[in-house]
A and B are shown apart, each in its own frame.
Chain A
Amino acid sequence: MLRYAATRLGSLVLSLWVASIVIFFTLEIVPGDPATFMLGLEASPESVDALRRELGLDEAPITRYLSWVTGMLIGDFGTSYTYRVPVGELIAARITVSLPLTLYAMALAAVIALPVGMIAAARRGTLADVAIMGVTQVGIALPNFWFAMLLVFFFAIGLGWFSAGGFPGWEAGLGAGLKALTLPALALGLTQAAIMSRVMRSSMLETLGQDYIRTARAKGLSHAQVTRRHAMRNALIPVMTIVGLQFSFLLANAIIIENVFFLPGLGRLIFQGITQRDLVVVESTVMLLVFTAITVNFLVDLAYAAIDPRLRRRG
């Protein structure tokens, strides 16, 4: 188990390292000088020079890359050019919205999808199964930002149950914060739930067809007992992969959903960074997103090993 974790950790570090190179050097190929790029063409040579010094642009790219990476390791993400505050502070403020939103959506998706997928598998071929599969098919086809707009239209504008957007901040209390995040999380989570329940269903069906299920039946377990004691845990293994995959997509899509609901999360920060050409903000926020996605996949790998003893020995 330890060796497995160590190998996965090595691969995690490698992925992060490559990702940091990709991000840094993509932004490095900005046409012309980054300082001019950020300030615009009409900026005075003096202010360009000042920014160049501030960004350390007179140094070699490799030196700047190293100082960026080592800076991040100790929590120093550089200083935003437009906000004039450390990027770390900006991110810290925004992530308290984006991360809870993503986790909320993920939890909603799992709570809905796992039972639904199991019911569909248990009633394979019945009307319930056909109906569930039909609904999930539509769910997959729904772009979640459009679904978000519809939710706003019905539940905020129409019924007035929720506010159409904005975030009161966690200071307003846990309940108020969660309420503000409920529609966005539904918009994000329901479309993911559609995918997850389909995976759950097919994984369950596949597992129920395995030889060891027949062995267990021959021991005298009823169909329900076999499902509960043998099929479920094995069927969860492929579902875990999807959860890992979905997390990074959820986090990315949260950026879009934040736009629909005017939530002050990482998404808004990135888009403001893009419009204001604040490369420091873009660079560090993207790295953070990538870091989170890779780390979650690492955790999923560990969870895998916890469920599946065959993995513990492998390298």
Chain B
Amino acid sequence: MSLLSVRDLTLSINGTSILRDVAFEMREGDVFGLVGESGSGKSMTALSVMQLLPSGAQVSGHTALAGRDLLALSEADMCEIRGGEIGMIFQEPMTALNPVQTIGDQVAETLMVHGVADRAEALRVARDRLDRVGLTADRFKLDRYPHELSGGQRQRVCIAMAVALRPRLLIADEPTTALDVTTQAQILDLLRGLVADEGMGLLLITHDLAVVSGLADHVAVMKDGAIVEAGRTESLFRTRAHPYTQALFAASSHAPVRPPRAAAAAPVLEVRDVVRAYPLSRTGFFQRPPPLRAVDGVNLIVGEGESVGLVGESGCGKSTLTRAILGLESLQGGEIRLGGAPVVAGRVPAALRRRMQVVFQDPFGSFNPRHRVARLITEPFHLAEGAVPEREEAIDQALLDVGLNPDDKHKYIHEFSGGQRQRIAIARALILRPDLIVLDEAVSALDVRVRAQILDLLSDLQERYGLSYLFISHDLSVVRVVTDRVYVMKAGKIVEDGPTEAVFERPDHPYTRALIAAAPRIPEAWQGDRKFGT
């Protein structure tokens, strides 16, 4: 018998249609992947099963857990099901725990609200479950508070909470999206182990095909509130019957065509022995810890027309280094040169500053919402000091360059989608024809298909204008396909660098090896079967 059976599930919220006739079957002890891009309705499907939908939701159809129709149950019965029969974990572990309650109490609460244990017994079970998810008693006492834990550790607490009563089904909604790649690998391992040990079904919701390929037995692909294709993971990935699946697949491993590069070009950007240290606040009345060296003796070079990658996990210092390169952070040691001229925070002459521009990650926070596109992309113009006589032509050209229409210059930023905003951000960076563009996680927030288009655009612009890119990202798969050389950063230091292919093929440093091993991949063998599509 199937564990979870969803039929004709239709949902609208305040009149907007969200889900249309969603149907799938999940077997006992199965790992079922639900993949799709943002807004495809995959999270809402899970919340419909849990009946935790936002107010204003209108839902119809059938969601049956082991033959019991959940949609027909009363709220009191659903409270029994939630946490008892179905556990759920969410994307953002940093905010998913009550900040004023200890982790022990929060795990024990699952048992206590279901009336299966008194407080002492519940705490004992909580201890046991926390041990099971890898938070052992010696380091993670029950009276720790969430703010004392890292993101990965908090996600483990959430998992312990969700599986405290050994539910038959665990729903994991993008459980590793907010985590670093090595942490992601550990959490996925943990989930895999729990499923095997406890015979629990896992409904894994994710945008990442590679994560699904490594974990799920069955998979369903969602688009615009409906399932377009479903089947066994391997055969679905190998055949890719539906055009949308093909497009997703192609985009996720998309490698833009890049121009061949002459070796040994002159350097555009030189970072030499750079140190950026912050004083820490005092720990006692008299002692102050030594300053935190966020960037600790970093050397990095970007040559003319070259694409250089800088990878590392959150907190490794790559953002600080980025700001230092952009002349926004003062240095405690070393120097940064752009085209031979020193970059000193607060004293970068306009003529130098215009040679370097930046594109940020967040396509929503990157623009002043009160300005029109024309004004947004001409922000760097005051650096030109009258050297851009044909303002209107420059705007039109920049918009055309990034694949937008010159008429778009009269619009406001909220009229554009995420991908279009990123194009506008590139237009702003491009308009003064800089030598170097720093791409700070520039494609990380985009869906795979949009990401592929932006990567093509960047590659095209590089060829046309001879740009150099410094590509900063936590996403190894992207860095691998778009850079010539790569630097790997950890705890403020560069631990390894070299030609991208060489580093990825034969990583030297244990950390690089760990990073590459942790990154989920779709098995090579599944990819060869179909080569058409885009």
Contact = CB atoms under 8 A, between A and B. Distances in A.
Interface of A: 3, 210-212, 214-223, 225, 229-230, 233-234, 307-310, 315
A234 B113 contact: no
Nearest to A309: B145
Contacts of A308: 99-100
B82 A218 contact: yes
A224 to B, nearest CB: 10
Most buried by A among B75, B97, B98: B98
Contacts of B80: 220
Interface in B54-101: 75-76, 79-84, 87-90, 92, 95-101
A212 B99 contact: yes
B281 A315 contact: yes
Given A230-B98, A234-B100, A219 B145 contact: no
A219 B109 contact: yes
B391 interface: no
Contacts of A315: 281-282
A291 B197 CA distance: 63
Given A221-B113, A309-B145, A233 B96 contact: no
Interface string B282-302: 101000000000000000000
16 contacts: A214-B52, A214-B96, A215-B90, A215-B96, A217-B82, A218-B88, A219-B82, A219-B83, A219-B110, A219-B161, A221-B83, A234-B100, A307-B100, A309-B145, A309-B147, A315-B281
B162 interface: yes
Contacts of A217: 52, 82
B145 A216 contact: no
Given A219-B83, A220-B81, A220-B84, A310 B113 contact: no
Contacts, number: 78
Contacts of A221: 79, 83, 109, 113
B158 interface: yes
B50 interface: yes
B114 interface: yes
A218 B76 contact: no
Interface string B268-284: 00000000000001101
A216 B97 CA distance: 8
Interface size class of B (residues with CB under 8 A): 20 to 34
B90 A214 contact: yes
B83 A220 contact: yes
A233 B100 CA distance: 8
Nearest to B52: A217
B233 to A, nearest CB: 26
B161 to A, nearest CB: 6
Contact of A211 (B83, B96, B114): B96
Interface in B96-150: 96-101, 109-110, 113-114, 145, 147
A245 to B, nearest CB: 22
Contacts of A230: 98, 101
B105 to A, nearest CB: 9
Which of A219, A307, A315 has the largest number of chain B CB atoms within 10 A?
A: A219
B145 A218 contact: no
Contacts of B79: 220-222
A218 B281 contact: no
A225 B109 CA distance: 11
Interface string B145-168: 101000000000010011000000
Contacts of B147: 309-310
A34 B208 CA distance: 79
A307 B80 CA distance: 30
Nearest to B95: A211
Contacts of B83: 218-221
Most chain-B CB neighbours within 10 Å: which of A211, A215, A233? A215
B146 to A, nearest CB: 8
Contacts of A3: 284
A218 B162 contact: yes
Contacts of B282: 315
Interface string B385-398: 00000000000000
Contacts of A215: 90, 96-98, 158, 161
Contacts of A223: 75
A216 B109 contact: yes
A294 B161 CA distance: 42
